[in-house]
Structure 1
Amino acid sequence: MNIDRTTLSFRKKVVLISFGLAIGCVSLWFTSSMARQLREKENYEVRLWALAIERLGQFNADDPLSAYIMDSRNNIPFIRTTDNFSEVLSSNLIPDRILYHPDLLSRKLEQLARENPPLEITAWNGSRFYIFYGNSRLQKTLTVFPFVQLAVIVIFIGFGFLTFRSSQEDEQNKVWIGLAKETAHQLGTPISSLLGWIEYLKTQHIDPSVVEEMNKDLTRLMKVADRFSKIGSETVLSPANVNEVVGSSVMYFRTRIPRNVTLSYNGLAIAPVQAMINGALFEWVVENLLKNSLDALQGQGEIDVRISDDLEWVYIDVKDTGKGIPKSNFKRIFEPGFTTKTRGWGLGLSLSRRIIEEYHKGRIYVVDSEPGRGTTIRIALKRLYA
């Protein structure tokens, strides 16, 4: 049985993440167990200390045994009071501002009682007193530490997931890049053959305009192959006249659109504007937008391609009178795989966004759209001054 490298890589990542989770869970259990054992130990020691005080009688700090017991409990905060809680007999790790303020003292006693049930001690002479005690700093730290660990585990899982997804995307990108380059390579043979056939047709008694249109289609096919070969390679940008680059795509489509579709363009009638672009890839984006507009028109309507600019940006708007897009899909149409067509993979606008935003450092977005009234999509490029 053959298992491909992608499957093996996937399994390794799953095993690594599972191993990390197992370590985190064991660490969490161990820390929680330590906190529980420390709590039980401290409770036992406090009860032992209270029992010793009860056996010794009235607490005397000058007594060596009492002093030793006190020193051994110096990490646990406590308050020893009379049976009516009106007088503090002794305390440890409790600030004076609390001990001498009735309201603060009352709230502190309530807090300590919530942490541990107070101990009632009956002295040898029949008098009673209470010991209110809390948890040591170490115990509080160990109590909180599992939550810190849990947060670290969640962060670890998050980073692991992001790394895993990123690696999956990298692998998928490598597959697509390889497929694109192989497609460009495979197109080379029929393109070379078609070039020879066009030269042959030029020598025959055929309408030259027909041969010329065939030659334009072949030139377009060569551009498509060139675009596929550039995927995954370094994208070289150069100064270009945006009016002419966009106009080239518009002129090509004008002779190939249905009769009931009007395609207008203002770029050749206004002052030229420049931007840093890759001609082959940028034409691909313009063609994608024009094809989408033609699909939306369904054989009848208008497409208006318009160039405008300001001091910083050059704008190319492609507007159609087609079926439109709901506002909820304005961003989704640029996601890979999203399509409203019965055919197609939904990659056109996704690739267009990548070409414009990642390669050209520009923007592409829906300016306006409404179902039944058409759509306007805008490309924005940084303007270049000569």
Structure 2
Amino acid sequence: MCSNFWLVQVQKTLYLCVPKRRKIMKRLTLNHISTAVLGLLFIIVIVSVLYTNYIAEQLAEEERKKMELWAEATKQFIIADENENIDFLLQVMEGNTTIPVYMVDADYHLLMSRNVREPKRNVEEFYADKIATLRESQQPIKVQISDDIVQYIYYEDSYLLKRLYYFPYIEFSLILTFVIIAVITLLIVQRSEQNSLWIGLSKETAHQLGTPISSLNAWNELLKARYPDDALLPQMDEDIKRLQMIAERFSKIGSQPEVEVHELVPVLQEAVNYMRARTSSKVEYILHTPPAEHCEVKMCVPLFEWVIENLCKNAIDSMEGVGTITISTQVADRKVFIDVADTGKGIDRHRYKTIFRPGYTSKKRGWGLGLSLSRRIIEDYHHGKLFVKQSQIGVGTTFRIVLELNH
């Protein structure tokens, strides 16, 4: 009764410390932000692609006209006589320095090429494949040399035009990289802010617990001196020690706790015994630990016990005070697996990760910090994992803790 009274006082203190708790617990909805940013990115890329294609079509049309002029200059150069001035024709022909050109005869045999990067080997096969590909993709420019001689000119996009086609994709890659970096930065900043919030709340809670615990200790000593044979005083002693442990747990959040090697099974037994003594007889606790199993783990006992107790309390809430909680351990691959299973309402699969978010709760009254802090304790301080192993609606849920064995 004593510990429950002071826990109520602590809860009131937290409400005073955080007048608008829902606002403080409100987290940035990264999914919405990411969707909006990706949508904006998609619009930018679409507009860029459309505009680039428009420019590319204009350049392609200009290149077509340029090649038609080049074809006419080539024709005039071929049919020119010795007395005709061909300087202008040569200037036009040599002015093409970027567009790959292939001139073929009526049988599509290569007569000449310009601005083409030839391979060192299999040159004839290279040109044959090029011409075959161009014949399928474009209409050639016809060069009528005479009534009996016809030649054709095929050409590819200039190197500038080819690079222009790739520009939207390069732009998309750069913007996407920027967005990814921005989202990662936002996640880091958000996590840092949350850490600061939880650490502040925890330390303030530990501070607020200190004064009433000291007062309780003094009153307890006074009662011991006045009523040395009172049977309730030992229980009050236990409750005060429990309150001191709770204060110690809160004070360790945000600071590096002392991690020592402990045998796992006695720690689990202590946590189960504590919960069994303080819950209804309608809740059955089962602890499965193989007798031959020897599990030494580096842990901070007060914090680890708090995680087990929190998982048990969540299980009791899920079972609405009636059901079975089974805690089992097994060792494999130099790791120990601790499963906490209940016979409660179960969790939807799409909420397996959501329930660990700070502020998330399915209860009418609650802060939504228990599972979030539990995971942080296991991951940050014990370098392990905490996750939902399995759950079935109407059947129950199993949480799994994974810790490294001490070698």
Q: For the superposition of Structure 1 and Structure 2, which TM-score range results when normalised by the shorter chain?
A: 0.7 to 0.9
Contact 1:243 1:267 in 2 (8 A): yes
User: What does residue 80 of structure 1 align with?
Assistant: 103
User: What does residue 7 of structure 1 align with?
Assistant: none
Pick which of 180-189 and 362-371 moved more.
362-371
User: What does residue 52 of structure 1 align with?
Assistant: 73
Say if 2:236 is the partner of 1:214. yes
Considering only aligned residues, what root-mean-square deviation do their CA atoms show, in Å? 3.9
Instruction: For residue 383 of structure 1, report the CA deviation from its aligned partner.
Output: 1.9
User: What does residue 14 of structure 1 align with?
Assistant: none
Separation in structure 1 between the aligned mates of residue 344 and residue 327 of structure 2, nearest angstrom = 14
Say if 2:128 is the partner of 1:107. no
Instruction: Specify whether residues 171 and 206 from structure 1 end up closer, same or farther in structure 2 by C-alpha distance, changes over 3 A only.
Output: same
User: What does residue 395 of structure 2 align with?
Assistant: 373
Contact 1:243 1:268 in 2 (8 A): no
Instruction: Specify whether residues 313 and 208 from structure 1 end up closer, same or farther in structure 2 by C-alpha distance, changes over 3 A only.
Output: farther
Separation in structure 1 between the aligned mates of residue 156 and residue 290 of structure 2, nearest angstrom = 83
Instruction: For residue 38 of structure 1, report the CA deviation from its aligned partner.
Output: 5.7
Instruction: For residue 368 of structure 1, report the CA deviation from its aligned partner.
Output: 4.4
Q: 2:250 is paired with a residue of what secondary structure?
A: helix
Say if 2:162 is the partner of 1:140. yes
User: What does residue 161 of structure 1 align with?
Assistant: 183
Pick which of 142-151 and 276-285 moved more.
142-151
Q: 1:365 is paired with a residue of what secondary structure?
A: strand
TM-score, with length taken from structure 2: 0.73
Say if 2:324 is the partner of 1:299. no
Among residues 217, 228, 233, which one is paired with 2:255 in the alignment?
Answer: 233
Separation in structure 2 between the aligned mates of residue 322 and residue 378 of structure 1, nearest angstrom = 16
Among residues 275, 298, 318, which one is paired with 1:253 in the alignment?
Answer: 275
Q: How far does the alpha carbon of each residue in 1:1-43 deviate from its partner, in whole angstroms, 9 at most, with x for none? A: xxxxxxxxxxxxxxxx9xxx9xx99xx6998898677656544
Contact 1:120 1:129 in 2 (8 A): yes
Instruction: Specify whether residues 205 and 268 from structure 1 end up closer, same or farther in structure 2 by C-alpha distance, changes over 3 A only.
Output: farther
Instruction: For residue 258 of structure 1, report the CA deviation from its aligned partner.
Output: 0.8
Separation in structure 2 between the aligned mates of residue 343 and residue 215 of structure 1, nearest angstrom = 29
Instruction: For residue 156 of structure 1, report the CA deviation from its aligned partner.
Output: 1.1
Identity across matched positions, percent:
38
Which amino acid counterpart does residue 233 of structure 1 have in structure 2?
S
Instruction: For residue 288 of structure 1, report the CA deviation from its aligned partner.
Output: 0.6
Q: Which runs of 5+ in 2 are unaligned?
A: 1-36
Contact 1:78 1:94 in 2 (8 A): no
Separation in structure 2 between the aligned mates of residue 104 and residue 311 of structure 1, nearest angstrom = 59
Instruction: For residue 81 of structure 1, report the CA deviation from its aligned partner.
Output: 4.0
Contact 2:258 2:300 in 1 (8 A): yes
Which amino acid counterpart does residue 58 of structure 1 have in structure 2?
I
Contact 2:318 2:345 in 1 (8 A): yes
Instruction: For residue 286 of structure 1, report the CA deviation from its aligned partner.
Output: 0.9
Instruction: For residue 301 of structure 1, report the CA deviation from its aligned partner.
Output: 2.5
Contact 2:256 2:381 in 1 (8 A): no
Which amino acid counterpart does residue 75 of structure 1 have in structure 2?
T
Separation in structure 2 between the aligned mates of residue 352 and residue 311 of structure 1, nearest angstrom = 24
Instruction: Specify whether residues 33 and 271 from structure 1 end up closer, same or farther in structure 2 by C-alpha distance, changes over 3 A only.
Output: closer
Q: 1:340 is paired with a residue of what secondary structure?
A: coil
Which amino acid counterpart does residue 257 of structure 1 have in structure 2?
T
Instruction: Specify whether residues 316 and 209 from structure 1 end up closer, same or farther in structure 2 by C-alpha distance, changes over 3 A only.
Output: farther
Separation in structure 2 between the aligned mates of residue 264 and residue 370 of structure 1, nearest angstrom = 20
Instruction: Specify whether residues 237 and 141 from structure 1 end up closer, same or farther in structure 2 by C-alpha distance, changes over 3 A only.
Output: same
Among residues 274, 277, 285, which one is paired with 2:296 in the alignment?
Answer: 274
Q: How far does the alpha carbon of each residue in 1:99-134 deviate from its partner, in whole angstroms, 9 at most, with x for none? A: 874x763332333x2xxx643445587965443222
Instruction: Specify whether residues 268 and 42 from structure 1 end up closer, same or farther in structure 2 by C-alpha distance, changes over 3 A only.
Output: closer
Pick which of 259-268 and 177-186 moved more.
259-268
Separation in structure 2 between the aligned mates of residue 43 and residue 150 of structure 1, nearest angstrom = 29
Among residues 65, 68, 71, which one is paired with 2:94 in the alignment?
Answer: 71
TM-score, with length taken from structure 1: 0.77
Q: Which runs of 5+ in 1 are unaligned?
A: 1-16
Separation in structure 1 between the aligned mates of residue 402 and residue 349 of structure 2, nearest angstrom = 20
Instruction: For residue 373 of structure 1, report the CA deviation from its aligned partner.
Output: 3.2
Separation in structure 1 between the aligned mates of residue 210 and residue 402 of structure 2, nearest angstrom = 33
Which amino acid counterpart does residue 77 of structure 1 have in structure 2?
P
Which amino acid counterpart does residue 221 of structure 2 have in structure 1?
E
Instruction: For residue 276 of structure 1, report the CA deviation from its aligned partner.
Output: 0.3
